[in-house]
Amino acid sequence: MRQFLARTLTILTLAAVAACGARPTAAPTPTETSAATATQAPAEATATSAPTEAPTDAAPAPTLPPTATNAPTQAPLLTPPADPCAPDVALAPDLTLAYTGPRSDGQGASIYVVRADATGLAEFVQGARAASWSPNGQRLAFLTETGDAANPYLLHFIWDDGSNEVTAALSGPINLAAGLRWSPNGAYVLLNGGQGVFVANTDNGQVVNVASDLPNAAGGVWSPDSARLAFHAPLNVDLNNEYRVYTALPDGSDRVSVAAETLNDFVQAWRPDGQRLLVRSGADGGGPQQIYSVSLDGAERERLTGDQSYADPLAWSPNGQKLAYLAYQLKLDSQGNITGQTQWLTVADANGANPRTLQQLALGYGEAGLSAPAWSPNGRYLAFLRGIPDGRPDLMVADVCTEAVTQAASSVDENFSWRAGAPLAAVVPIVAAPPATPAPATDAATQLAWTPDGATLAAVTAAGARFYDPATGSERTLLPASDACCALAALDAQYFASVTPGGTGVTVYDWQTQQVIFSIADQPAEQFQTVAISPDGTRLATGERFQVRLFELPGGAPITTFQTADVADSYVVSLGFTPDGGALVSVTQWEGIVQVWDVDALTVRRTFRIPTVTYFTLTPGGRQLAADYNSPGFELWEPATGVRLGRHPAIIGAGGPRYTAFSADSRRVAVWGFVSELGRTLAVWDVPNDRQLQALALDNSSGSPNDWLSAAFSPDGTRLAASDKSGLIYLYDTANWTEAAHWAVPGSQAQP
């Protein structure tokens, strides 16, 4: 696991502030100024300007909050240079970014600031998220969570020293990924929510929904002069398509529809001269799309690029000379299943010509990639997020002149924002919200497993791995939780194998003596996915990226390494020794490559591929393989022969391997993680006959939601162990499905 950068509250390098206007020293509301003398916003950009006569499709105009009194300026503090690659343009170390990351005390999120060369990292606002700097860099907008379902977020505006706070309560959900968008004159901030497009007055905090009569409206962006905003909404609300772009005044009046004949139009940005809009058209998803420059009435439509997919938002550079975007193309197999995608972070001329790729990634299915880029105020740099396999993404900065890329920060949650102007003189830590009160500590069994003799039931809990006598429910021993324990990967009569969080190591314990007998640590992230122990307890197999390794037990001496099929990210996610211990079955995720290894001859016996790319679960002893949870039911394959045994469409299997437990003979399967007419249900099925044998429901009459967490058949198939969220562990007699016993995990809600 990557370690988060040290959260020391450092002081950023002192620097002279370029002609920004004096910092207020008393209570009156501060004034945002430009490098020149501050001027009032033009009449058409103020709340008191008289709107033009609304067209027939205009909505009734809501009352706009009073005009801001902080004399907002019309332009950012620094005018974008005509040539951002000129020698006198500020380099990345002089620019600052804000982003959301994990709070240093572990209780929620915080806003951090960092220079674009990764120096000067500091935790700025504790308990806040969705940072956004004003155009001149003097004020910061952010959100805090209230815990109130009716008003889930509070919007804050502060000066960069934390003074003169203004707040606004927000009703309804907010699209955090879309961020907060300042008007160029600093008077308003726009937020996209699930119930409209909201405009907040940065002076007094009053908020108006400018698209309250348009369901699913979103995508709001400001015109360069702050006089209007543009957003999109569907004409066909029932099907949520036929999106059209609208422009309006900041109070929602004078709304004009931008004509289009395309399937959908999703607005991206205004051109810096205010004369045209950047629009993404086509189906919203993985299909081919096109990018257009559109006149404000829709009469002129110039295609810039297209026929691939694009991540919102695309953006013209601050001086209007360049276009930046993230394009992607889905990768499909011969059956039409999505196997991954290729991404291109691209810079082109403003008309889409001369595209140049700054970053290209080939991703497997489900892998984290890049985010859409954002221009620095001087137009020289692009900031974007780059996903990593083992956690939160990195914040990256690309120099569009040299194409050099720098990692500015790691463990970023969301919402990065450039700050215009000179660096902050100092970072004054601010507590926007106190640490959240942690929920009362409760425990439960998240994983269950039987020893091969059926004499012991293991239960993984927050306190560690507990080993119970199933006849009495008494705890025999506790293997305490630690950094290396206890994510159950394999269990036998003597050994307990745990995979370290993040897949960076494997530790094997003698669970009765609690002694570590073998460990591998500090490997690459997600290296280890699964572990298997041979029936006689003399061999350990580890499923890794591109390989399977065999070790001797108890000493851990390496035996061999089997190289698996090298296709994309070939992670071995399922392993199982055959009952005689002579063969080992491995399955790779996404690619569906199944290989059977001879562990005596150290050779491969069979390799085949299941064509449907999905999840897989090996039944005990590697006899069968359940596949294709993405469709109703699942398929069963026989690894020994590579033959598809059949399909079982009636059996609920959509939960995946975490919610599936097979009996030792593979004839019965328990499935949970779904809702039936009985509520949260654990269902047991007769696999060969697609017949449900029993549905076990939980009592939710107390009003506290409960759910099944795990289940496991005893080796002889006579008992089914199951655990729930309240902390109870149950034993059922599989002959008649009556409850034979139950007991509570210590420290759980169910404990008396």
Q: What is the pLDDT of residues 357-387, one digit of tens each?
A: 999 988 876 678 899 999 999 899 999 999 8
Of 609, 630, 653, the residue at which a domain comes to its end is 609
Q: What is the per-residue pLDDT for 562? A: 94
b/e string for 631-649 if b means 16 or more Cβ within 10 A? eebbbbbebeeeeeeebbe
Shared domain check, 426 and 499? no
The structure tokens listed for 703 are 């009003």
Q: Considering the domain boundaries, does residue 716 fall inside one?
A: no
Q: In the structure, what pLDDT confidence band is assigned to residue 680 with cuts at 50, 70 and 90?
A: confident
End-to-end CA distance of the chain: 38
Residues 377 and 667: their CA atoms lie apart, in Å, by 64
Phi first, then psi: what are they for 657, rounded to 5°?
Answer: -65, -25
What integer pLDDT is reported at residue 541 of this predicted model? Answer: 97
Q: Where are the beta strands (DSSP E) in 451-527?
A: 457-461, 464-469, 474-480, 488-491, 495-499, 506-510, 515-520
* pLDDT higher at 338 or 712: 712
CATH number for position 533? 2.130.10.10
Q: Which 3-state string (H, E, C) describes 357-384?
A: EEEEEEEECCCCCECCCEECCCCCEEEE
pLDDT in tens, 249-307: 999 999 999 999 888 899 999 999 999 999 999 877 667 889 999 999 999 999 998 78
Q: Higher confidence at residue 28 or residue 441?
A: 441
Q: Helix (H, G, I), strand (E, B), or coil: what is residue 714? A: coil
Q: For residue 663, is pLDDT > 60?
A: yes
**Residue 204 shares a structural domain with residue 341:** yes
Shared domain for 183 and 254, answered yes or no, is: yes
Please report where in the chains the tokens 């020391």 appear, as a residue.
8
Q: Which of 277, 172, 184 is nearest to 231 (CA)?
A: 277
**Distance (Å, whole) CA 654 – CA 594:** 21
Specify the residue for token string 């795990």: 710
Looking at the DSSP assignment, which residues form a beta bridge with residue 309? 328
Question: What contacts 583, CB < 8 A, 6 or more positions away?
Answer: 577, 596, 597, 598, 599, 605, 622, 640
Which residue reads 């119930």 in tokens?
195
Asked if 422 and 506 sit in the same domain, the reply is no
Instruction: Give kind and range of the element (H or E) at residue 306.
Output: strand 301-316
Can you give the CATH number for the domain in which 351 is found?
2.120.10.30
* CA dist list (Å): 210 to 169, 267, 334: 16, 16, 47
DSSP code at position 176:
G
Question: Which residues lie closer than 8 Å to 197 by C-beta, 6 or more apart?
Answer: 190, 191, 209, 210, 211, 217, 218, 219, 220, 229, 231
689 vs 195, which has greater pLDDT? 689
Is the per-residue pLDDT at 104 higher than 70?
yes
Same domain as 180, residue 89: yes
For the chain, how big is the Rg over CA atoms in Å? 30
> What CA–CA distance (Å, rounded) separates 653 from 523?
33
For residue 345, tell me if it sits in a domain.
Answer: yes
Judge if 198 and 286 occupy the same domain: yes
Residue 632 lies in a domain: no
Instruction: From 609, 635, 666, give the residue that closes a domain.
Output: 609
Write the pLDDT tens digit of every residue in 202-234.
999 899 999 888 888 889 999 999 999 999 999
Same domain, 142 and 214: yes
Give the model confidence (pLDDT) of 332-361 as tens digits.
Answer: 777 666 777 899 999 999 999 999 999 998
If asked whether residues 301 and 402 sit together in one domain, one would say yes
The residue-averaged pLDDT of 59-82 equals: 48
Q: Does a structural domain hold residue 620?
A: no
Residue 127's pLDDT band, with cuts at 50, 70 and 90, is very high
Q: What percent of the chain has pLDDT over 70?
A: 84
Residues 392 and 529 in one domain: no
Residue type, 111: I
pLDDT on residue 34: 34
Residue 704 within a domain: no
Residue 414 has pLDDT above 80, yes or no: no
Tokens at 170, concatenated: 């927000």
Question: Facing residues of 243 across strands?
Answer: 234
Structure confidence at residue 81 (pLDDT): 87
Residue 625 included in any domain: no
Give the range of the structural domain holding residue 581, as residue numbers without chain letter: 482-609
Are 320 and 389 contained in the same domain?
A: yes
Q: Annotate 197-264 with DSSP letters as a single string.
A: EEEEETTT--EEETTTTSTT-EEEEE-TTSS-EEEEEEEETTTTEEEEEEEE-TTS-S-EEE---SS-
Residue at a domain's end among 588, 609, 630? 609
Both 175 and 315 in one domain: the answer is yes
Q: How far apart are CA 531 and CA 487, in angstroms?
A: 11
Q: How many structural domains are present in the chain?
A: 2
pLDDT at 7: 30
* Distance separating alpha carbons of residues 521 and 500, to the nearest angstrom: 8
- Can you give the pTM of this predicted structure? 0.56
Give 563-603 pLDDT, tens digit per residue.
Answer: 987 655 678 989 999 999 999 999 987 678 899 999 999 99
| Of 63-77, 102-116, 499-513, 524-538, minimum mean pLDDT range | 63-77
Quick check: is 329 in a domain?
A: yes
The mean pLDDT of 686-700, rounded to a whole number, is: 89
Q: What is the mean pLDDT of the chain?
A: 83
pLDDT at position 631: 62
User: Residue 320 is encoded by which pair of tokens?
Assistant: 């209007």
What are the pLDDT digits (tens) for 34-49?
333 333 333 333 333 3
φ/ψ of residue 398, rounded to 5:
-110, 130
pLDDT confidence tier of residue 24, bands split at 50, 70 and 90 = very low
* The CA-based dihedral angle spanning residues 45, 50, 53, 59, taken in that order and rounded to the nearest 10 degrees: 70
**Within-domain flag for 454:** no
Q: Residues 154, 225: one domain?
A: yes
The three-state secondary structure class of 622 is helix
Per-residue pLDDT for 1 more than 60?
Answer: no
Contact 443, 727 (CB under 8 A): yes
d(CA 327, CA 404): 20
pLDDT attached to residue 66: 38
